[in-house]
Amino acid sequence: MILPRLAASLLIAALGLAGVTHWRASAREAQAETDFPPTGAFVTVDGLELHYEMVGTGPDLVMIHGASGSLRDLTFALRDQLADRYRVTVVDRPGLGHSDPLRETSLAAQARVIKAGLTKLGVTRPIVLGQSYGGSVALAWALDGGPRALVLVGSPSMPWPGKLDPWYRLTANPVGRALAIPLASAFVPESYVRSATAAVFAPDPVPSGYDDHLGAALTLRRETLAANTAQVNALRAELVAMEPLYPTLDLPVELIHGTADTIVPLGIHSGPISALLPNATLTVIDGAGHMPHHAHADMVIAAINRAALR
């Protein structure tokens, strides 16, 4: 009798935890969407909504954000420093921010949706800036044709040795995802999010007001966490397939990378790919971390201007 009672007690406890987790995650998701509503407009591609903002006049510049983020990273400061000379379009990648998720989460699928949506808006031959994972999407877009130039900021481009961090390894299988994602959505505290953001910026400081503008709570929604983990877990294999094709990209490519970037190391990514691309310029920023578009925006803007002239 003891074992059946114990099993029943454990089942009741598990169901109770699941109920509390669902309730808390749902409440936090609703609050996140109230606090950080869409700031732009939507364009429909194959029944999916792509959220974007477009400002300024001049040559078209498209900016694509990295993992665990949204277009709000790029509208914090960088976008408004460019709108006087470019028509700047920033997008929420599929599955993140306020854009609908895709069934296929590949770099190529994301690039096709962004390209199709922006073509509807009259953006056909843009300079494409990608930061971090967004740079990988920009490379996939270039391999499919369309951009007149690329600006890749701290972007993964080559297969890396070793494994991803424990969070991504945990969510790489269905059981891990089913357990970890609801718990993270429900219970990860704001203090942890702020410390994680500081680690991504390090050794550069997080700009004042950035945490409040970013809306990291949007990333903690269950559907967004699921999309983000699927995208990152698939990334290395996609870069393996893309690497042999890089020598075919003859468009201008500006690579910007910090020497202190521990998230996407210079020596594994921008350094090696610069030797494979026929028309690449590598700008190395001594002592910069993973977010040079904030800490060293002048150098990123200079690279965009060079790409436009090239």
Q: Where are the alpha helices (DSSP H) in the chain?
A: 2-35, 72-75, 107-120, 133-144, 166-170, 174-187, 190-201, 210-214, 222-242, 270-276, 292-295, 297-309
For residues 197 and 201, give the distance between their C-alpha atoms in angstroms, rounded to a whole number. Answer: 6
Give the per-residue pLDDT at 310: 80
Secondary structure (3-state) at 164: coil
Burial of 164 (0-12, 13-18, 19+ CB in 10 A): middle
13 vs 7, 16, 111, 142, CA distance in Å? 10, 5, 44, 51
Helices (H) and strands (E) in the chain, counts: 12, 8
Buried b (16+ CB within 10 A) or exposed e, 41-80: ebbebeebbbbbbbbbeebbbbbbbbbbbbbbbbbbebbe
**CATH class of domain segment(s) 39-93+103-256:** alpha beta
What is the pTM for the complete model shown?
A: 0.93
> Does residue 274 contact residue 282 with C-beta atoms inside 8 Å?
yes
Which sequence spans correspond to the domains of the chain? Answer: 39-93+103-256
**Residue 3 pLDDT class (50, 70, 90 cuts):** very low
Reported as a single tens digit per residue, the pLDDT across 209-249 is: 999 999 999 999 999 999 999 999 999 999 999 999 999 99
pLDDT in tens, 156-175: 999 999 999 999 999 999 99
Closest CA relative to residue 269, chosen from 298, 249, 296, 290:
290
In whole numbers, what is the pLDDT of the chain averaged over residues? 94
Q: What is the pLDDT of residue 19?
A: 76
User: Across residues 116-141, what is the average pLDDT?
Assistant: 97
